[in-house]
Amino acid sequence: MKPIKSEIKYRLKIKADTLHTLLILLFITGLILTMITAVSKSASAQSMQCSICGKTIRGDYWKYGDKVICNQCKNSLPTCEMCGIPMKKFYDVEGHKICPDCYNNKLTRCEKCNTPIYTYWNWEGPDGKTHKLCKNCLEKAMGYCELCGKSLTGKSWTVTSDSTGRTGKYCDYCKNHSHTCFYCSLLVPWNAQPLKDGRYICSYCRQTLLSQQSDFKKIKSEVNSVFANELNLKLNHNPSLSLVDLPKLKKLVKANQTSENQSGGDNMGLYVGTKLITTDSKGKKTTKLQQGDIYILNYMPRDVAVWVMAHEMAHGWYEERVFTHKDPLIVEGFAEWVAYHVLKQKGLNTLAESITKREDEVYGKGLRFLLNMEKERGFKGVLDYVTR
Ligand SMILES: [Zn+2]
Ligand SMILES: [Zn+2]
Ligand SMILES: [Zn+2]
Ligand SMILES: [Zn+2]
Ligand SMILES: [Zn+2]
Ligand SMILES: [Zn+2]
């Protein structure tokens, strides 16, 4: 935006030009004398006064439209950067001196806060239209980096967590220098402290972070009651519950990766069932679940804990009834299917929907397979299918 300058200077002093011919000199002198007389006359008749200082004009004066300004005012006062007219009072707009008239009537106004602005930014709003905004309103409209708080007027990134549905907006620097939350995949500041086992947990997930055995026990009994009261999947045994860190869990998963438990892909929890096979006098073998143990990652956001607990307890329910080897797609798909229903019962719909979208060959695929089956055969039909 360029300021518009207009100034017309009227000089009254005349220098005689000795090089001119007498005739021209006489003519010009005559003409100028007429002008001086005319101006002097009008000045004295109206007692022409400077529109700034109010003093009667003597000598040079300056004319801007219908404003008359004395030479002293013109030389001592600042001029408006938009209209170029000298001024006594002015507004400082982003370091630019602007007269009250231009400030109130000519400057562009921010479309959000209505403040007159010298420099404006074009911002494309959600309505698809371009809006002229001041720097403040632009920053507010663009948002701030969730990690460092800087305004996102430069290159920025938006990350959406599948599991929570939450969206994080980050500046380019933070995007490239941060860590990823173990649970929701949003970003964690570069200088954040990880857990001892290296897991980074974002501030949002930390809000509901469970760390005590008693917290997890509570979740277990909540899930237990949904199993028993809402889903009719009452467990006949009470699995033990142990909190472990990530390396310990990985070790346990590896150690228990038998032919019966091939998937081993749970990275947040594990159910281990110990079975007892007895042979009676007639040589008939009977398999019975003797002991069930749930291992769950320590430090877990509440909603995730409900999901993982429901998943592991579903394994427990399954192991009470099925003793033959089954396809991991069905075993893990079933655990996810039960967890899905528990999440729905608990009103954790975003997380429930997100687990149906997991792109892996076992968990997501198995869950979708059983959800489709449920549409055709109903809840009971799925239970019959997985336990047959
Ligand atoms: Zn003046
Ligand atoms: Zn002005
Ligand atoms: Zn504004
Ligand atoms: Zn940042
Ligand atoms: Zn998180
Ligand atoms: Zn599992």
Query: Tens of pLDDT along 174-223?
Result: 999 999 999 998 999 999 999 999 999 999 999 999 999 999 999 999 99
Q: Quickly state the pLDDT bin for 258 (edges 50, 70, 90).
A: low
Listed residue (262, 226, 223) closest to 239, CA to CA = 223
Average pLDDT over residues 44-51: 72
The alpha carbon of 58 and the centre of ligand 1 are apart by a number of angstroms equal to 10
Q: Is residue 129 part of a domain?
A: no
The alpha carbon of 174 and the centre of ligand 6 are apart by a number of angstroms equal to 34
Distance CA 288, CA 244 (A): 27
Q: Quickly state the pLDDT bin for 307 (edges 50, 70, 90).
A: very high
- Sign of the CA dihedral with 46 first, then 47, 49, and 54 last: negative
Q: What is the pLDDT of residue 59?
A: 82
Q: What is the pLDDT of residue 265?
A: 52
pLDDT averaged over the chain? 84
Q: Is the domain of 53 the same as that of 173?
A: no
Q: What is the pLDDT of residue 345?
A: 97
Q: What is the pLDDT of residue 323?
A: 81
43: helix, strand or coil: helix
CATH number of the domain that 294 lies in?
Answer: 1.10.390.10
The alpha carbon of 116 and the centre of ligand 6 are apart by a number of angstroms equal to 62
The alpha carbon of 76 and the centre of ligand 2 are apart by a number of angstroms equal to 17
Domain region containing 178: 150-206
The alpha carbon of 270 and the centre of ligand 6 are apart by a number of angstroms equal to 6
Which residues, listed in sequence order, are joined to residue 272 by a DSSP beta bridge? Answer: 293
Do residues 220 and 311 lie in contact, with contact meaning Cβ atoms separated by under 8 Å?
no
Q: What percent of the chain has pLDDT over 90?
A: 60
Residue 8, pLDDT > 70, answer no
DSSP 12: -
Average pLDDT over residues 309-337: 91
User: Could you give the number of structural domains in the chain?
Assistant: 3
The alpha carbon of 353 and the centre of ligand 4 are apart by a number of angstroms equal to 30
The alpha carbon of 74 and the centre of ligand 1 are apart by a number of angstroms equal to 7
Look at strands 240-244 and 285-297 and give their pairing. parallel
| Cα 2 to Cα 105, 119, 130, distances in angstroms | 16, 10, 20
Q: Is the domain of 196 the same as that of 260?
A: no
Q: Is residue 310 part of a domain?
A: yes
Residue 15, pLDDT > 80, answer no
Q: DSSP characters for 234-273?
A: --SS--EEEEE-HHHHHHHHHHT--SSS-----SSEEEEE
Query: Tens of pLDDT along 263-288?
Result: 445 689 999 988 888 888 888 888 88
How many other CB atoms sit within 10 Å of the CB of residue 145?
A: 22
**Domain end position, chosen among 42, 76, 110:** 76
The alpha carbon of 62 and the centre of ligand 2 are apart by a number of angstroms equal to 16
Residue 171 is which amino acid? Answer: C
The alpha carbon of 64 and the centre of ligand 1 are apart by a number of angstroms equal to 13
In the structure, ligand 6 is a single-atom ion and the residues with CB under 5 Å from it are 266, 332, 335
